[in-house]
Structure 1
Amino acid sequence: MQQAFRQLEERSVSSEIVLMEWSPKMDLIALANKNGEVLLQRLTWQKQPIWVLSPCVDDDAKSVTALAWRPDGKVLAVGYSSGKVVLCSVEGAGVIHSSNFRHGVRSMKWSSTSLCEKEEEEDEETAPQEDKHGGIFPDASDLYLPKLPPLSKHSSLKDQDDEGLEDLMQLKDQIGLNLLVVCFDNGLLYILAFGIAPIAEVNLKSQEKTADCGAVLGAVVTPRLYSLLVVMEASKDKPERKEVVLVKLSSVLLASRSREIAKYAKKYAKISALMEYLEGTLKAITEAKEDILLEIEAKLTKYAEQKGTEGTVGDEFLDLLVWGKASLELQTFLLQELTAKGLKKLGHSVESSYSSIQKLILKQVHRVGKTLLFELSELYGMARWYDKFGILGLSPEAIQDAMSSVGSFLLKSNELLQVIENSLKNFKAFFRWLFVQMMRMMEEPVIPAVSKMYQKDINFVADFLEENFSQDFSETKSGFTLEHVGQYFKKEDLSHPFTGSSNPWLDFLEAHPEVKSSMFIFPNHREKSLLQLHDALIETVSEVLIKTGHMCGQSVIVKDVYPLYKSVETPESLSSKYQQFMVQHIPSDGNLVYTVFIDSKPPVDSLYFMKHSLTQSPNLQLVRLQFGVLGSSLNQSTVSQSSVNRCQKHRVLDAAFYDDTTLSILLQEADDTVQDSVLCQLPICSLDDKTSSLPTNSQGTVLTESQDILTVDAGELVSHYHRLENLRALKFAVSGSRKVSSVLFLNGRRIRLFDMDTEEEEDPSTMDSSMNLTQSESDISQNITTESIDI
């Protein structure tokens, strides 16, 4: 019967909307527009969205191709045609994690998995009270490791509170396991645990049954992880007429190790957050580094090349140190090029810059390095447990290499601290002496405490001049080495490796190669810069983290292939307004998978509903749905004549699962004069006796062209419908948990929101009849009372 779905809002948007997705838990809807922006709006739909995620300006292809909500509704995944997937927190538009893939994202599906409830209860009983927030395989590292300080305002992780790195990726409250399945255009799909950790990379082209496959249109993983159902294109002889198939994949390894995958994924998230934190810290250090010493070196080089007197610049400074006299050229250079004021400012800048770098290394680089080393050590222990974690692809050797890279990086950061300490000591003494000499040249008074120098100070300045003022002027060297710190932040070998004082430990290692080659001794790369070792660290850690995806992906194998339909690609079908929809839904019991699809560009005459049983045989049932007059004759008799639907035939625009029991369908009246859209609710149970079973081995037969498929007029099975007058619709989005729907106009710039749980309104004519009847009964009662009094 026609139901008065209550209209809530009707709003216009500035840019054409291409995707809509309701949050499963909150009254929020995510909208992606043609400009590549993602907007978050509330059901009440204020004029300004809650937040706007700007387009990916770094990518050539900026369009948003997929949206998916995490099951708890706290994180939104956004997929781009460039292959980038970003996770955004509902509380703000900041990106909490991003993944870059090689190919454009076609679709995404985020679903939760059901681990064994009995095992979960046992974990809760045996786990310590303070560790219960960790769920399966509780992680107590946060109880022992020091908290990392927040990064500076220049970091990509700015404005984060001190709640731990796991919370930065919104995983602290995640119990159990949820999976984000990302589908691509080239037969690839990735399964990301918690939307972050790539636990399986499935290449369907590498398997015999799907070797000629094309784009993956959509995929869903069953709650127990034993199967994946994928709808994809199968490339045939005629590329303009592509066959679309349903592929069933077996994923026994994922199902048998779901608890271990949850533990590994959280460890992956922590290590990834630590790597981002380290990268942000290095960025802050680079910005804190001053290049003013390089300018001084350039001025000294220019002076050395142009001066007319004999001898080197170092000799002239030594004469000034010993005899207190300088040549006329040197005086002119010091007083006009450097100037006393500039030298004083230079000293403050160098000291401030070096002090900032020291603080960042001591407070952040060392802490994050030690924390990263701890997390990798735990991962190494997990990898040694082969039956649980090693079988997932964790390699102890690769993790050991990553730990060695972390150790080498920490050693280089300690070396940098020594270089900074020595440089500060040298510059303070040299600048103080040179400042006093320049003040004397200008005949300005000097404070005795500043001008006073001892013999050891003179020797120190002399050693500094001899070490940093040389005669070597080449294309790669300026002849002056005032700047020793900046070379550590270049992706090239050190031009002046640190010598330092003799270290007995390093001498011992050189004398005992068997000890130096031990896995417990971190290698010291004397010639490498800090950024070079950071790049090596990124490479080794990435090698550790990607192996799991390859190993688990190889364990996923194709079991069955069911041809669905043949599609014809036209320029119109490839437009942004048209997306050949295919939706899959798993009810709460997890034993069935519902699939709805169409075989041509909407609006279409038929909609296909398929039911795939995971436990029974025959396991595949299909029915073709057409829509004539909506609602049964009995239902229509209860509705006033003015609201009875006038159209005898409808065409399908879009479909989505409202909940486990209801299918929502967006129709268009197939009438030459009136083409309003109609929003329908179809109970899934009404199709139980309408589906026809299909053989399990149906290869070679396109289902939609088969004569054995039962065709049903689903118009009379519709439980509720509502005509959307004066609305030409393009697509819609529904949410059974929030009891709402949003219908997008054909132009893509206007949206109408409906409350789907409104009680049916009484018809005015019926209300008038009821009022008349009540009035008549009142008159009769009054007459009877009057007659009784008379008697």
Structure 2
Amino acid sequence: MYIVRGQVHEPTMQYFFRKLEEKNLSAEVVQMKWSPKMDLIALANIQGEVVLHRLQWQRVWLLPVPAEETSKIVTALAWRPDGKVLAVSYESGKVFLCDVENAAILHKMEMGLTVNCMQWINTDDKTNSSNGNVTDTNQDANHQDIFQDNSYTYLPKMAPLPKSYTTTNRGTGTDVHDIKRLQGQERLNVLVVGMASGRVQLYAFGIAPVGHVDLKEYDSVLTPKEMKSVMLSSDLHTLWLMMEQVNNATDESACQGILLSCNSTLLSSRRIEIAQLSAKYGKISSLMEYLNQTVKSMSEAWEDILLEMESKLNKYAESKPTPGTVCDDFLQLLMWGKSCQELQAFLLHELTEKGLKKLGHSVENSYCNIQKLILKNLQSVGQMLLFHLTELKGMSLWYDKYGVLGLSPASVQDAIIALGSFMLKANELLQVIDSSLTSFKAFFRWLYVIMMRLANETVPPAISKMNQKNVNFVADFLTENFTDNPENEGKTSGFTLERVGQYLKKEDLQLVTDVSRNDWYSFIQSSPIMQESPLLYPHQPTKSLIQLHEQLQTAINTALNRPSTIIGQHLQCNSMFKLYNSPKKEDAKRSWPVSQHCVGSSLIYIVMLPQQVPSDSLYIIRQPDQEERSSKIEFLKLCFGTLGDSSLNSSTTSTSPACSQHQVLDACFYDDETLSLLLHEMNSEGENLSILCQLSLSALIRTQLFIKLSSGDVDTMLQKDVVSVDAGIHVTQSRRLENMKAGRFAVSGSRKVSCVVFSNFRRVRIFDMETEDDNEDESSDASVLDTTKEINEEENKENISLTG
């Protein structure tokens, strides 16, 4: 290996990296990411599908493009640090959190802009105390209580979600208390989402918004085009943003690469409070998801079963030649047992005995299902939401810890009031269902007897009896539902048979329930003091259940999202570094692969390729130290020359021609001390070969030859002089990839594996990075590969050249 200015080093290398698998893919790969905890790799293809594979390439699941997603382009993947949730972003700006067990979509977020990159980081176990010393937060009582929740011990148990929800989301539906899969989080983790136009959003545990940055607000001169990389330090103090902006107002293809450093004292100093607040957000969000699915199931349980009967009654009313309303005809039939010929024909030929019987069963089943959902699901989740919102209000009253984060007692109280109004409306719906069901049963039984008598059929004695109570029920039903409709001019009568369905529509109620005879309501109306009491939930008589549900969602979102705005105001962009310029129009589609990694609690490393791949060099950027990390950066430029000859291919007896210059295809951090590289070489015989190698990052750090760059420098980093590096730097492991023209790769230091994609992006090769290959196995493997060499050569001819 050699570093800029021509120093060449050829350390002795062995044949590392044992090949595990080589597989073809059904579509071109655009994104891939190894799980940090399990031997799983997620791949997104050009068709918008996300596929999860095990190390031995058994497919775990395939996530198709969601039905509501308009774009098929997956822009980024990110694993939660515990490996149980995968974040997938699409070009449309939607982000989905998927359960690793069954691909169930746990959470959805709408960004409004194209997501360019994502990073999901774990915070460290330590935090700075007030005196500046580092203390172990595991010894802090508050830290121990972050994720402890005993509410489920005392609150009512929630019933399993309806089957329609579990079927849609492919979940089991058993763990209704943890729909978002948040239990078991040992410490705070943050999902950082970088979007086009210079926007960045931070989500604790992947769902709770805890800050945002809009670069256009930071500097009006900036014209962000694409976010290349986002990285948050483990201590939550520094956020690095690498982006491209338009460098020429008349030519948008002329881009400039810049690196911005943002600091947040509030975010880093209130980590424990943010973790507690985000955990509470997660519980409330899970309960709201449960509530949303319950309301959706109620709407599905309600069918437009009475619309057909209403249309038939309207048709009869319009064609009825005799004077009077339809209500008059039915009341005459109820009181005297006689009716006009038109009504008899309507009952026997239009409504029919079979149709009425079917209608009665449908109404009863529908109303009973809605009642069960309210009693078993809605009331229990309402009590749990009230408990957590009340706790959240108590937290908001402690201003020094939570109020300073933007948690407002007034906004939380508004959410509690909205929840109370919603639950009052749910209880009102229960009463309406009970009274409607009783009236419908009495009306259908009476009308069924009448139709049997008109058809000269024998009426069973069990249903033929009509006492005065049943007569009153039928009369009340006719009076309430067969009323004149003044809005329908020119029509004899209007019908409102569906008193329950109006509660499940996004519009005001047409038939308002009369509560004037309610003693409690009368008492409240007679007492001005009680009307002004904050302890009483307001009753909104004209609003439907769906309308109040939307109001509840808005109130909770307002209360929970306000901290994101306040914390975002403390995320200040302090430094801006110019990295490169691409003034030529033909460079508009240049690719600038970057990889970032956080070492320790605060030190961030970024690897950047300064030109279209394959690149002649790469840059390693880092912060100089704790004090200067907001105003300066350090960088080092690396170039690769002769890596050796036969040492790279010990499986063959003949030596391969040495290459004097290697180009970089891809670079990725393997762990805190190692940088993985995918190199391209063209030897003297004109063969295009690929090399997978490991570079000692710790050896680079010890050189002390990083060049400092201040934010005030006007020259770009690429224009800086680069000094030589001494002979202490070396490639620790390396392997030439036989019969393979590589394109990209993904590595995992925690799982000690890598996945290299061919240049056609439709074939992958898996390597064990910590095992030395057996020569005998490699020889047999080489013989097999030789049989497909001609096929691979033909395939390579069709691929887009990476060296052009």
TM-score by length of 1: 0.90
1:482 aligns with 2:492: no
User: Superposition pairs for residues 91-102 of structure 1, below 5 Å?
Assistant: 91-102=101-112
Q: Which residue of 2 aligns with 1:642?
A: 654
Identify the match of residue 384 of structure 1 among 391, 397, 406: 397
Whether the 8 Å contact between 1:489 and 1:529 is mirrored in structure 2 is yes
Q: Which residue of 2 aligns with 1:120?
A: 137
Whether the 8 Å contact between 1:150 and 1:158 is mirrored in structure 2 is no
CA offset at residue 475 of structure 1? 4.0
CA offset at residue 324 of structure 1? 1.3
With over 3 angstroms needed to count, the CA separation of the structure-2 counterparts of 1:29 and 1:637, relative to structure 1, is closer
- Stretches of structure 1 lacking an aligned partner (at least 5 in a row): 765-791
1:39 aligns with 2:51: yes
1:5 aligns with 2:17: yes
Cα distance in 1 for partners of 2:568, 2:399 equals: 18
Provide, for residues 522-577 of structure 1, a one-character-per-residue CA deviation record: whole Å limited to 9, x for no partner.
11110111111111111111111221111111101012222111235767864xxx
Q: Which residue of 2 aligns with 1:421?
A: 434
SS in 2 for 1:154: helix
Cα distance in 2 for partners of 1:380, 1:210 equals: 41
Q: Which amino acid aligns with 1:216?
A: M
Q: Which residue of 1 aligns with 2:752?
A: 739
Q: Which amino acid aligns with 2:661?
A: K
Q: Which residue of 2 aligns with 1:541?
A: 556
Q: Which residue of 2 aligns with 1:203?
A: 214
1:522 aligns with 2:537: yes
Identify the match of residue 552 of structure 1 among 531, 556, 567: 567
SS in 1 for 2:607: strand
Q: Which residue of 2 aligns with 1:748?
A: 761
Identify the match of residue 119 of structure 2 among 98, 109, 112: 109
Q: Which residue of 1 aligns with 2:719?
A: 705
CA offset at residue 448 of structure 1? 2.2
CA offset at residue 686 of structure 1? 2.6
Identify the match of residue 246 of structure 1 among 252, 259, 262: 259
Q: Which residue of 2 aligns with 1:237?
A: 248
Q: Which residue of 2 aligns with 1:615?
A: 626
Cα distance in 2 for partners of 1:387, 1:162 equals: 39
- Stretches of structure 2 lacking an aligned partner (at least 5 in a row): 1-12, 128-134, 778-804
Could you tell which deviates more after superposition, 244-253 or 589-598? 589-598
Cα distance in 2 for partners of 1:454, 1:754 equals: 84
With over 3 angstroms needed to count, the CA separation of the structure-2 counterparts of 1:590 and 1:723, relative to structure 1, is same
Q: Which residue of 1 aligns with 2:6?
A: none
Q: Which residue of 1 aligns with 2:616?
A: 605
Q: Which amino acid aligns with 1:175?
A: E
Q: Which residue of 1 aligns with 2:148?
A: 138
Q: Which residue of 1 aligns with 2:80?
A: 70
Cα distance in 1 for partners of 2:16, 2:169 equals: 48
Q: Which residue of 2 aligns with 1:771?
A: none
Cα distance in 1 for partners of 2:776, 2:306 equals: 86
With over 3 angstroms needed to count, the CA separation of the structure-2 counterparts of 1:149 and 1:243, relative to structure 1, is same
Q: Which amino acid aligns with 1:193?
A: A
Q: Which residue of 2 aligns with 1:443?
A: 456
CA offset at residue 637 of structure 1? 13
Identify the match of residue 355 of structure 1 among 358, 368, 372: 368
With over 3 angstroms needed to count, the CA separation of the structure-2 counterparts of 1:335 and 1:762, relative to structure 1, is closer
User: Superposition pairs for residues 626-641 of structure 1, below 5 Å?
Assistant: 626-631=639-644
SS in 2 for 1:694: strand
CA offset at residue 697 of structure 1? 3.7
Q: Which amino acid aligns with 1:538?
A: Q
Whether the 8 Å contact between 1:625 and 1:712 is mirrored in structure 2 is no
CA offset at residue 104 of structure 1? 0.7
Cα distance in 1 for partners of 2:628, 2:657 equals: 40
Q: Which residue of 2 aligns with 1:564?
A: 579
Whether the 8 Å contact between 2:648 and 2:734 is mirrored in structure 1 is no
SS in 1 for 2:197: coil
Matched positions, count: 748
Q: Which amino acid aligns with 2:425?
A: K
Q: Which residue of 1 aligns with 2:792?
A: none
Whether the 8 Å contact between 1:395 and 1:544 is mirrored in structure 2 is yes
Cα root mean square deviation, aligned:
2.6
Cα distance in 2 for partners of 1:564, 1:537 equals: 47
SS in 1 for 2:611: coil
Could you tell which deviates more after superposition, 37-46 or 664-673? 664-673
SS in 1 for 2:51: strand
TM-score by length of 2: 0.88
Cα distance in 1 for partners of 2:446, 2:651 equals: 101
Q: Which residue of 2 aligns with 1:217?
A: 228
SS in 2 for 1:482: coil
Percent identity over the alignment is 47
Cα distance in 2 for partners of 1:85, 1:368 equals: 26
With over 3 angstroms needed to count, the CA separation of the structure-2 counterparts of 1:440 and 1:677, relative to structure 1, is same
Whether the 8 Å contact between 2:303 and 2:366 is mirrored in structure 1 is yes
SS in 1 for 2:164: coil
CA offset at residue 641 of structure 1? 7.1
SS in 1 for 2:38: coil
CA offset at residue 235 of structure 1? 3.5
SS in 2 for 1:175: coil
1:299 aligns with 2:308: no
With over 3 angstroms needed to count, the CA separation of the structure-2 counterparts of 1:455 and 1:209, relative to structure 1, is closer
Could you tell which deviates more after superposition, 527-536 or 149-158? 149-158
Could you tell which deviates more after superposition, 79-88 or 511-520? 511-520
Cα distance in 1 for partners of 2:64, 2:649 equals: 52
SS in 1 for 2:478: helix
With over 3 angstroms needed to count, the CA separation of the structure-2 counterparts of 1:209 and 1:434, relative to structure 1, is closer
Q: Which amino acid aligns with 2:57?
A: W
CA offset at residue 252 of structure 1? 0.6
With over 3 angstroms needed to count, the CA separation of the structure-2 counterparts of 1:436 and 1:600, relative to structure 1, is same
Whether the 8 Å contact between 1:281 and 1:365 is mirrored in structure 2 is yes
Which structure exhibits the higher relative contact order, with contacts defined as CA atoms closer than 8 Å and separated by 6 or more residues?
2
Q: Which residue of 2 aligns with 1:79?
A: 89
Cα distance in 1 for partners of 2:370, 2:522 equals: 29
Q: Which amino acid aligns with 2:710?
A: T
Whether the 8 Å contact between 2:158 and 2:381 is mirrored in structure 1 is yes
